[in-house]
Homo-oligomer: A and B are copies of this chain.
Amino acid sequence: MATLKSISALFVFLLLISCSSASHGKRIRDRRPCKRLVFYFHDILYNGKNAKNATAAIVAAPSWGNRTILAGQDHFGDVVVFDDPITLDNNLHSTHVGRAQGFYVYDRKEIFTSWLAFSFVFNSTDHKGSISFAGADPIMNKTRDISVIGGTGDFFMARGIATLMTDAFEGEVYFRLRVDIKLYECW
């Protein structure tokens, strides 16, 4: 019985360790995504002539800028609101599976850099719900990571990382981003 008691004590001790480690911020967490999704979205910026096709518009600019041409100094200070179609491949004319909605800000004078906050909004048989993103986007890097800060519906309480890649860039009117979404918290 002495042996049994000591085993009992050992297990209670191990359980306590287990519990406390599980609740501490420093615990080892699994860096394999619990969900992974890849999408493309397409941004056509309003330039005064393409009102019909445009999916984005400059809505604010620094005092040296205006709202139909991206400002000098690497567009520093331009704020762009967008409602861009999402596709599964890199073809603008493929089925739109959702909308990327939000805004970006060009935020550096020496190089193209932006700060983004937007949501992917889905309402199809495949996905219902939204995924929200925020973070710095150093556009000139081949890939860059932003944060998945929340989700709703099928993506309830999601957190993770999205890796952005500029898949195409045509002058100052059109760009296409590939978004590789890796969720590490799924509920």
Which residue numbers of A lie inside 8 Å of B, CB to CB? 1, 3-4, 7-8, 10-12, 14-15, 18-34, 46, 48, 57-63, 66-68, 76-79, 81-83, 99, 101-103, 105-109, 113, 115, 117-119, 121, 129-130, 132, 134-136, 138, 145-153, 156-157, 159-161, 183-187
Closest CB-CB distance, A5 to chain B, in whole Å?
10
What are 5 contact pairs spanning A and B, CB under 8 A?
A8-B10, A22-B22, A145-B152, A147-B150, A184-B187
* A interface, over-half SS: mixed
Q: How far is the CA of A70 from the CA of B33 in the complex (A)?
A: 42
- A152, B157: Cβ atoms under 8 Å? no
Q: How far is the CA of A129 from the CA of B112 in the complex (A)?
A: 18
Closest CB-CB distance, A100 to chain B, in whole Å?
10
Q: How far is the CA of A66 from the CA of B116 in the complex (A)?
A: 24
Q: Which residue of B lies closest to A103 (CB)?
A: B105
- B157, A159: Cβ atoms under 8 Å? yes
- A107, B132: Cβ atoms under 8 Å? no
